[in-house]
Structure 1
């Protein structure tokens, strides 16, 4: 039997670009199971206009960028995806600004022939092993004891920023869930996994309540650590340290570069399955050109 792939779309704006993404996925994968969590409180969306293979999470979660609410939205979508009578072999989580950059046959072949259970970027975070920027940033975000204090931005607006109170593991071990036997991991938010990974994440999301509360109340950008920590500390999974996503962080800020036509050669030569981020309002030609390369009519 052919390997099936289901999709979780987490969106909050640009309904037209979301519809284009859905239509492209349907053409490529012959109308697979798609579950969309859309934050209707930010941008209205007519869900009745979408194809019947697209289900929406209702009621929606009022998601905020980088907050645990996004994880909650994704878990609700994952549960809905795997409640169906014929759940997919694999799932992949996409944002509304993602787009495929490889043909469906190539994506399915890579997944079905791989020895892995998930393709997820992950790095361990340890106090005496902070070798990469991800690890150093991860330690500050997830493994220190912090408090939030008011601060004034240059434009005069009041915001919150965190200051570190405790940093050394001899002290933080009393306040965080991490230890030598349960280390923290960090990595890129978006990933894909098989049905075993889906079941494990859903089960853990029901039972690991204290870990959820810690990530929700005491960390920054839990979306870049929660999944990695759960899966890397689990037994029996073979994880590929590559989430098969093309992302350009050369802008050196909190968001990746918005990709355009100048990026097409790099996209096509990449081994990644999907890329982000795209903005059809800024450059629609890159999406048109990708369609010529990846759609199988």
Structure 2
């Protein structure tokens, strides 16, 4: 049984190296695909022993637009086209870290009866983790980007315009990540094809991964629709897989997040104060971490997972 780890990265190279090294050392037979946005930093994988199981690609980053989904699809399509051997696909970011030993995670996947682990909910139901208004505004409107970036000062100036979203049904205005305006139109959703939301971070069997790749290749109109939604990363895979009704899916993405008092839907950075909660969690990975903010939390997790794990995780410094 072989796992492929798809790591989408954009900053903090030393933290990325630590993550790659930990996974590679813990699971020498795994596949590692790094999809890196070089806008903020370069990666030098020559520091690792030459290994044909590590693959580096360059991709555009972003959260509000379709870029993260596209880089995921590109990496997935490359894996399948090149017949890379894997049984499970785990996607994480460079700011994630395993809070269970990698061998334990892989042993769990080798014996599970589930086909995938992902968070999901009907965005227009009472079970949604968002308000129905938010889910409807994200995925039932088609957006045009007016500006690719928004400074904190500009966001404060434009924020009052969001009142437009609550006093009429025709347009939506969003300035959380960039400046964009959405227009109501025809959607792909109906009683037989519902809109499902959830975390972008999933653990999927090869069968689920192949289905997503086939669906994306055979449904260009759906892909084009998704490109113009807001925060497409948080509904794309859920909507495809849940509507298929083909898989035994566990409504648990096996990720630990802390959204307490967070802003713009971004989880809080995890530090030593979160260690006890992380140690008790049944999740496999947690996010977000910052090596510069609190390096000790990484060592605490490694010592908890294995007495020798801290030395393993830091061998790239030598």
**Hey, which bits of structure 1, 4+ residues long, moved more than 6 A?**
145-150, 157-162
In structure 2, relative to structure 1, the CA distance for the partners of 1:100 and 1:153 (3 Å cut) is closer
Mapped partners of 1:83, 1:148: distance in 2: 33
Asked whether 1:90 is paired with 2:88, we answer yes
User: Is the 2:121–2:127 Cα contact (8 Å) retained in structure 1?
Assistant: no
Tell me the equivalent position of 2:139: 142
**Aligned counterpart for 2:215 among listed residues 204, 214, 228:** 204
Mapped partners of 1:48, 1:153: distance in 2: 36
In structure 2, relative to structure 1, the CA distance for the partners of 1:288 and 1:203 (3 Å cut) is same
Tell me the equivalent position of 1:184: 195
Mapped partners of 1:154, 1:289: distance in 2: 34
User: Is the 1:145–1:175 Cα contact (8 Å) retained in structure 2?
Assistant: no
Mapped partners of 1:174, 1:86: distance in 2: 40
User: Is the 1:116–1:238 Cα contact (8 Å) retained in structure 2?
Assistant: yes
Mapped partners of 1:27, 1:221: distance in 2: 34
Tell me the equivalent position of 2:178: none
Tell me the equivalent position of 1:243: 253
For residues 3-44 of structure 1, give each alpha carbon's deviation from its aligned partner in whole angstroms, at most 9, with x where no partner exists. Answer: 221100000111110000001101221251100100113322
Mapped partners of 1:200, 1:296: distance in 2: 40
Alpha-carbon shift at residue 294 of structure 1 (Å): 2.1
TM-score, reference length from structure 2: 0.81
Deviates more, 1:71-80 or 1:15-24: 71-80
User: Is the 1:92–1:192 Cα contact (8 Å) retained in structure 2?
Assistant: yes
Listed as ranges, the gaps of 5+ residues in structure 1 are none
In structure 2, relative to structure 1, the CA distance for the partners of 1:143 and 1:130 (3 Å cut) is farther
Tell me the equivalent position of 1:56: 56
Alpha-carbon shift at residue 145 of structure 1 (Å): 6.2
User: Is the 1:256–1:277 Cα contact (8 Å) retained in structure 2?
Assistant: yes
For residues 223-256 of structure 1, give each alpha carbon's deviation from its aligned partner in whole angstroms, at most 9, with x where no partner exists. Answer: 0001110001113211100000000001331211
TM-score, reference length from structure 1: 0.87
User: Is the 1:103–1:296 Cα contact (8 Å) retained in structure 2?
Assistant: no
User: Is the 1:145–1:166 Cα contact (8 Å) retained in structure 2?
Assistant: no
User: Is the 2:198–2:234 Cα contact (8 Å) retained in structure 1?
Assistant: yes
The count of residues paired between Structure 1 and Structure 2 equals 285
Q: Secondary structure at the match of 1:236?
A: coil
- Listed as ranges, the matches of 1:121-200 within 5 Å are 121-126=119-124, 129-134=125-130, 136=132, 137-144=134-141, 155-156=153-154, 164=165, 166=169, 175-200=186-211
Mapped partners of 2:152, 2:99: distance in 1: 40
Mapped partners of 1:205, 1:159: distance in 2: 35
Alpha-carbon shift at residue 131 of structure 1 (Å): 4.2
Listed as ranges, the gaps of 5+ residues in structure 2 are 171-182, 309-318
Asked whether 1:18 is paired with 2:16, we answer yes
Tell me the equivalent position of 2:173: none
Alpha-carbon shift at residue 72 of structure 1 (Å): 0.7
Q: Secondary structure at the match of 2:7?
A: strand
Asked whether 1:215 is paired with 2:226, we answer yes
